Chains A and B, each alone.
Chain A
Amino acid sequence: MISMTKKRFREKTLPAAIMVGPVTLWLILLVAVPLIYILVMSFCSIDEFYNVTFHFTVDNYKHLADASYIKIYVQSLVIALLTTVICILVAYPFTYIIARTKSRFKSLLYMLVIIPFWTNSLIRIYGWKSFLGTSGWLNSVLMKLHIISQPLDLLFKQGTTVFGMVYCLFPFMVLPLYTAIGKLDSTLLEASSDLGAKGWKTFLTVVLPLTASGIFSGCIMVFIPCLGYFFVSNILGGGNSDVIGNLIERQFKSGNNWPLGAALSIILIVITLVLVKLYQKTGGDMDSLGV
């Protein structure tokens, strides 16, 4: 009997524990515990020195319904939506060409999308700031070529924030689209053409439905980070077009109200979960989100 349990332990439990144990520990320590910590903190209050004290309150959540906060949520959603739409419009034809090309430069083109990833996005955003500035490269070159007489005022606008977001998140739209378009069976396109469908009809009735999953996962991967990329709106938007990420950052730093920041983080997590759930409901594949 004892040898049976021993054998069972050696052959079933031990390997399972070794295989699953580290991952479970990792998830508990680095995902579950911090999330629970934030959830608990969001119901705490602060004392006169702004220390977090464990005094239960729902005031933080009530406070989040304040008009000035709601305006920032709306602004965030508008920025995220614009970014996502622009990303689709630019990335789709771009990826389609790369994914379907027979050229020997195919993998090189694909690499060109990935390479900027190797530099920290904060540094790239600073690069754009000095490029777009009044005395930046772009304005200097345009003035030298006498295309403009006055420097263009490009920085510190909501549009600049959207531009920066599109720039940062563009690869996240390209990658899932690349997979989806790559899988497209070209015989289906030939069949469509044989049956007399014109180019746009083939696109709408064959290509688009077959690549919809790529578009969906791209949207999720662009839209959600957009709500949190506070450094883009800080540096390129000049702090004039806050996203939810800015609100959270501020509460944890100068605002000195960690519980309020925690409550905001919970709201952001809820928004994310709702969007992912919607994605699943519409037939999205969780694997293609890379999660």
Chain B
Amino acid sequence: MMRYGKRVMSVMLSLALLGTSVSLTGCGSSKKAENGELNLFIWTEYVPDSVISDFEKEYGIKVNVSTFSSNEDMLAKVKSEDEGTYDIVQPSDYMVESMIKQGMLEKLDQDALTNLSNIGKQYLDPSYDPGNVYSVPYQGGVAAIGVNTDKVKTDIKGYKDLFDGSLKGQIVALDDYRAVIGMTERSMGLSMNETDKSQLSKVSDKLLTLKDNIAVYDSDSPKSSLISGDCNVSYCWAAEIALAMEENSAIKIVFPEEGAYKFIDNWAISKGAKNFDNAMKFINYMCDDKVAGKVIEEFPYLNVNEKAVAANKDYSENEAKNIPADVFEKGEFVTNLDTDTLKVYNDMWNKLKN
């Protein structure tokens, strides 16, 4: 996911991609790979370029990459294109479930997934896709709390402490209504996917008490405000906090005692994919421990490849990157809300934002 990297960056990257795709079509026929093509539709800054070019060399498959920066963008794009435009998509947990229900994904060829044993058991057979019939996990994370311990003396243990009056104007939070409302719900001991109207009106009241504490909503690069000192507390992805910790040793990560908002991004094959076999080869390739090792070196997210994690001590001992198993276990995925509840959540968010 585009959990780090600025919007500007993504604009420049997409321009660069546009440039490369033009130049590729210019000399395309001569470079035609012997084993066909593969069309990826993936998150910006989420799969190392070196891994993709290694795959191309090893399998003789030409890979075309398109990127997106939110699940909703991805869904809209896949729907608006012809079926089979993209072979592989990379939806998060709740989006896998939604795409399965809408018949937008192909069942995976389980026999081709010889490397699946490298993936940690706790990430398999998830609630959003029982038995991993349609998806294989790639990377994930939780929304944790980053604290600049030089500036903040309050003892922060969980989401409920973010409502403390002493943190007035000090928090940078994800600009994501499910994340912020979900955090509020968990701080009250409720589910992030609460639908009960009377409970939700209590959540709305509680949410308003957070208003003065949040200085800025930022999903693109929340670590920037934490590093620059504009904010002393962050409610954002652990990976962002991991990067901030590398810049300033006073910054510490706190995993909420109530159980965190968690996510997993997955590999899946879109309905009508023209290069199904190549797609299966790619997914299996990404589950290889050496390949996952390269991913770990490049990205600070929670990697689900147990074998690769064990091989990299720097990574496995960094709990902001390699989220402890019990923290992940205690976390909760968001799920799709029914349309009436969606409206209640949106209204709550509007109230917070004015």
CB within 8 Å of B: which residues of A? 45-51, 63, 66, 68-69, 71-72, 75, 122-123, 126, 130, 133-136, 151, 153, 155-156, 234, 238-242, 246-247, 250-251, 253-257, 260
The 7 closest A-B pairs by CB, nearest first: A238-B216, A239-B217, A68-B350, A68-B351, A134-B229, A156-B216, A71-B354
Asked if B350 and A69 make an inter-chain contact with CB atoms under 8 angstroms apart, the answer reads yes
Q: Assuming the A-B contacts A122-B8, A240-B217, are A63 and B343 also in contact, with contact meaning beta carbons closer than 8 angstroms in the complex?
A: yes
Cβ B228 vs Cβ A136 within 8 A: yes
* A241→B217 CA distance, assembly (Å): 11
Binding site for A on B (CB under 8 A): 6-8, 11, 70, 72-73, 79, 98, 101-102, 169, 175-178, 214-218, 228-230, 336, 338-339, 342-343, 346-347, 349-351, 353-354
Q: A49-B101, A135-B228, A257-B342 are in contact. Are A68 and B175 (CB under 8 A)?
A: no
Assess A50 versus B339: contact at CB under 8 Å? Given A134-B230, A155-B230. yes
List 30 A-B residue pairs with CB atoms under 8 Å apart, sorted by A's residue number: A45-B339, A47-B339, A49-B336, A51-B79, A66-B347, A68-B350, A72-B350, A72-B354, A130-B228, A133-B228, A134-B228, A135-B228, A151-B229, A234-B175, A238-B214, A238-B215, A238-B216, A238-B217, A239-B175, A240-B215, A240-B353, A242-B354, A247-B350, A251-B346, A253-B73, A254-B177, A255-B342, A255-B349, A256-B72, A257-B346
Q: A123-B8, A133-B228, A239-B175 are in contact. Are A49 and B217 (CB under 8 A)?
A: no
Residues of A within 8 A of B72 (CB): 253-254, 256
How many angstroms between the C-alpha atoms of A238 and B101 in the bound complex?
Answer: 36
Which of B336, B338, B353 has the most chain A CB atoms closer than 10 A to its own CB?
B353
Q: Are B230 and A133 in contact (CB under 8 A)?
A: yes
Contacts of B343 in A (CB 8 A): 63, 257
Distance to closest chain A CB from B128 (angstroms): 14
A48 to B341, CA, bound (A): 11
User: CA–CA, A9 to B354, complex, Å?
Assistant: 60
Verify B98–A49 contact, CB threshold 8 A. Answer: yes
Which of A63, A68, A151, A251 is packed against the most chain B CB atoms within 10 Å? A68
Given B8, B101, B176, B338, which contacts A126 in the complex, CB threshold below 8 Å?
B8
> Do A68 and B354 touch across chains, with their CB atoms under 8 A apart?
yes
Contact present for B216 and A155 (CB under 8 Å): yes
Q: Which of B11, B177, B216 contacts A255 (CB under 8 A)? A: B177
CA distance A72 to B347 in the complex (A): 11
State how many angstroms separate the Cβ of A291 from the closest Cβ of chain B. Answer: 28
The A-B contact count (CB < 8 A) is 100
**B353 to A242, Cβ gap below 8 A?**
yes
**Contacts A156-B216, A253-B72, A254-B176; A48 near B228 (Cβ below 8 A):** no
Starting from the known contacts A155-B216, A238-B216, 5 additional A-B residue pairs (CB-CB under 8 Å) come to A71-B354, A155-B230, A156-B215, A250-B346, A253-B70
- Chain A residues near B215: list those with CB within 8 A: 155-156, 238, 240
The docked-state distance in angstroms from the alpha carbon of A289 to that of B63 is 49
Chain A residues near B229: list those with CB within 8 A. Answer: 133-135, 151
Closest CB of chain A to B161's CB: distance in Å? 21
A246–B338 CA distance with the chains assembled, in angstroms: 23
**Please, which residues of chain A bring their CB within 8 A of the CB of B354?**
68, 71-72, 75, 241-242
Shortest CB–CB separation between residue A209 and chain B, in angstroms? 39
The distance in angstroms between the C-alpha atoms of A71 and B339, with both chains bound, is 23
A240 partner, pick from B11, B216, B230, B342, beta carbons under 8 A: B216
Shortest CB–CB separation between residue A97 and chain B, in angstroms? 35
Q: A123-B8, A239-B175, A239-B216 are in contact. Are A246 and B353 (CB under 8 A)?
A: yes
In the assembled complex, the CB of A6 is this many whole angstroms from the nearest CB of chain B, namely: 45
A48 and B347 contact, CB distance less than 8 A: no
Chain A neighbourhood of B70, CB < 8 A: 253-254
Q: How far is the CA of A46 from the CA of B346 in the complex (A)?
A: 14
User: Which residues in A have their C-beta under 8 angstroms from that of B349?
Assistant: 250, 255
- CB neighbours (8 Å) of B101 from chain A are 49
Question: In the complex, what distance in Å separates the CA atom of A157 from the CA atom of B227?
Answer: 19
Chain A residues within 8 Å of B79, by CB: 51
Known: A239-B217, A240-B353, A253-B73. A68 touches B347 (CB 8 A): yes
Residues of chain B contacted by A136 (CB below 8 angstroms): 228
The answer, among B8, B228, B342, B353, for a CB contact under 8 Å with A239, is B353
Give, as a whole number of angstroms, the nearest-CB distance from B131 to chain A.
22
CB-based nearest A residue for B172: A238
With A and B bound together, what is the CA distance between A41 and B245 in angstroms? Answer: 46
Q: Which residues of A contact B336 (CB under 8 A)?
A: 48-50
Chain B min CB distance to A153 (Å):
8
Which residues on the B side are within 8 Å of A251 (C-beta)?
A: 346
Give complex CA distance A127, B308 in Å. 40
Task: List, in ascending order, chain A residues with CB within 8 A of B347's CB.
Answer: 66, 68
Q: Do A256 and B342 touch across chains, with their CB atoms under 8 A apart?
A: yes
Nearest residue in B to A243 (C-beta to C-beta)? B354
CA distance A151 to B230 in the complex (A): 10
> A133 to B215, alpha carbons, bound, how many Å?
12
Return chain A residues, CB-CB under 8 Å to B11: 122
Residue of B nearest to A122 (CB): B8
